[in-house]
Amino acid sequence: MTQPRRKSLSRQVMESIEQMILEQQLGPGDVLPTETQIADQLQVSKSSVREAVKMLEALGLVEIRRGLCTVISENPQRGFLNVLMSQLYLHSGSTDDLRVFRQVIEAACTNLAMETATDSDLQLVRQALEQFRRKVEQGALEVEDDIHFHMQIVQATHNTFLVTLASALYSLFRDSIRHSIQENPRTALHDHERIFQAFLDRDSSAATKAIRESADAWAPSIHPKSTRPLGSTKTEQ
């Protein structure tokens, strides 16, 4: 490996490790070679390898198991979540910024899913709504019921990149979503029914309007404690 003119070295090592993962066809849960093995193979210092691995961890590609080994991540959404949390800490986005961000992502996923959803996808979204409705009637609605409904729509895009991003997004907003649906479960149900009907009708305008109004209802629940500290969130499956 040639010495960079300062790309930096850790960045080049990171790219080399990414290439190594692809060439060895390593998948989620597989163990990465040790720092010493990588350093010997790339002819760089172990400190450069260590820094590169930390960068890969921040991107969500690997998980460092202290004192044990480094494995390929089984939760790629963690990388998205780290980036989102970093933006919140660095830029202190307003409530309105967060509301618009969620609204835009949900609308984009829903409109794409209208084009790609199969009959099986539609049935899964319908079942998620029925579960949501049943839990409201029972007074047992949980945040997982809300996230499950939205994620079934995102899954219908059949786009792994969007699925990973949405999973991180809902992990980020998990606490505020919980607060919102507990405060107004009937409103949440009404919003979900409108979104589903628009999805079923493949009515992009109606879906966008319903999602916007749902985001408006959710926004008051956003507060400093409604997002989790970087690195402490367990991602949703």
pLDDT at 237 over 90: no
pLDDT at 65 over 50: yes
Q: What is the pLDDT of residues 189-232, one digit of tens each?
A: 999 999 999 999 999 999 999 999 999 999 998 864 444 433 34
∠ CA(113), CA(116), CA(119), 5° rounding?
Answer: 100
Mean pLDDT score, 23-31: 86
Q: Residue 45 belongs to what domain range? A: 9-72
Cβ neighbours, 10 Å, residue 71? 16
Low-confidence winner among 20-34, 116-130, 176-190, 193-207 (lowest mean pLDDT): 20-34
The pLDDT of residue 76 is 62
Residue 235 falls within a domain, yes or no? no
| Residue 154 CA: distances (Å) to CA of 22, 138, 140, 161 | 27, 26, 24, 10
The pLDDT of residue 93 is 58
Q: What CATH number is attached to the domain comprising 16?
A: 1.10.10.10
Do 43 and 28 have their domain in common? yes
Residue 237 falls within a domain, yes or no? no
The pLDDT of residue 6 is 45
Nearest-10 Cα torsion for 167, 16, 20, 169 = 0
The pLDDT of residue 37 is 92
Residue 186 falls within a domain, yes or no? yes
Residue 1 falls within a domain, yes or no? no
Do 66 and 111 have their domain in common? no
**Of 23, 42, 72, at which residue does a domain stop?**
72
Q: Which residue has the higher pLDDT, 161 or 74?
A: 161
pLDDT at 112 over 70: yes
pLDDT at 122 over 70: yes
pLDDT at 23 over 50: yes
pLDDT at 3 over 80: no
64 phi and psi, to 5 degrees? -90, 120
Do 170 and 120 have their domain in common? yes
* Residue 139 per-residue DSSP state: T
Mean pLDDT score, 11-32: 87
The pLDDT of residue 2 is 47
Q: What is the pLDDT of residues 130-167, one digit of tens each?
A: 999 999 999 999 999 999 999 999 999 999 888 888 88
∠ CA(154), CA(157), CA(158), 5° rounding?
Answer: 110
DSSP string for 148-171: HHHHHHHHTT--HHHHHHHHHHHH
Q: Which residue has the higher pLDDT, 55 or 45?
A: 45
Residue 135 falls within a domain, yes or no? yes
Residue 233 falls within a domain, yes or no? no
The pLDDT of residue 116 is 97
The pLDDT of residue 86 is 60
Question: What's the mean pLDDT when you consider all of the chain?
Answer: 84
